[in-house]
Structure 1
Amino acid sequence: MKNLTFINHKFDLLHSVRQWLESIEIDNPKLAQFLCKIIPAHCPFERKIKFVNRTIVFIPPLCKLNPFYEQIVSLRFKCLLYLADE
């Protein structure tokens, strides 16, 4: 019973952080530029290791394992839209 309470509390915390990330309003060009610089456009962990033009190992994008991936990508998109409008 104690484990279920811990798990429910953990999911509530994740949900509240997701809501907070989604509710961020971009109204400052310096903030928008800063966020666009620190949030990558594509997953930096995805790699193809090649030897003599043959792919030996492919490391898939691990960013999708991040529980806040969708919210962070949408925050970067909001910043780009704000900068395009300004």
Structure 2
Amino acid sequence: MVKLIGLRGLVRQWVDAIEVHDRKVAKLLCRMIPASCPFERDIKFFKRILFHIPPLCQLNPLYEQAIGLRLKALSYLADECGEDVALYC
């Protein structure tokens, strides 16, 4: 049975298949993909929190693939290159 995969599925497979074998590319990926969602905010007024904006990154259909790619880059830098990855955490 042939399974039809949509464009989103193909992009997910393509991102999952990316291998990191270059130190410069790994460092670039670690700098470009944030460790946590950058959109989470507390809206304050006179030191009182009016409301909280939750992290919305999980709504991105490629969020898990981006985090996985960042993990691959961190693993490459730590395991293969022997670098301290605390800078990127």
Bin for the TM-score computed over the shorter chain: 0.7 to 0.9
Unaligned runs of 5+ in 2: 82-89
Aligned counterparts of 2:13 and 2:32: Cα–Cα separation in 1 = 20
The structural deviation recorded for 1:54 is 2.4
- One-letter identity of the residue aligned with 2:59: L
Q: Distance in 1 between matches of 2:76 and 2:47?
A: 41
Indicate yes or no: 2:27 matched with 1:33.
yes
Whole-angstrom CA distance in 2 between matches of 1:77 and 1:56: 35
TM-score, L = length of structure 1: 0.83
Q: SS at 1:17's partner residue?
A: helix
TM-score if structure 2 supplies the norm length?
A: 0.80
Partner of 1:17: 11
Can you list the C-alpha shifts for 1:10-39, whole angstroms capped at 9, x where unaligned? x61000000000000000000000011110
Q: CA RMSD in A?
A: 1.4
Name the structure 1 match of 2:78: 84
* Structure 1 residues not aligned, in runs of 5+: 1-8
- Identity, % of aligned positions: 55
Aligned residues between the structures? 77
Q: What is the Cα deviation at residue 61 of structure 1?
A: 0.6
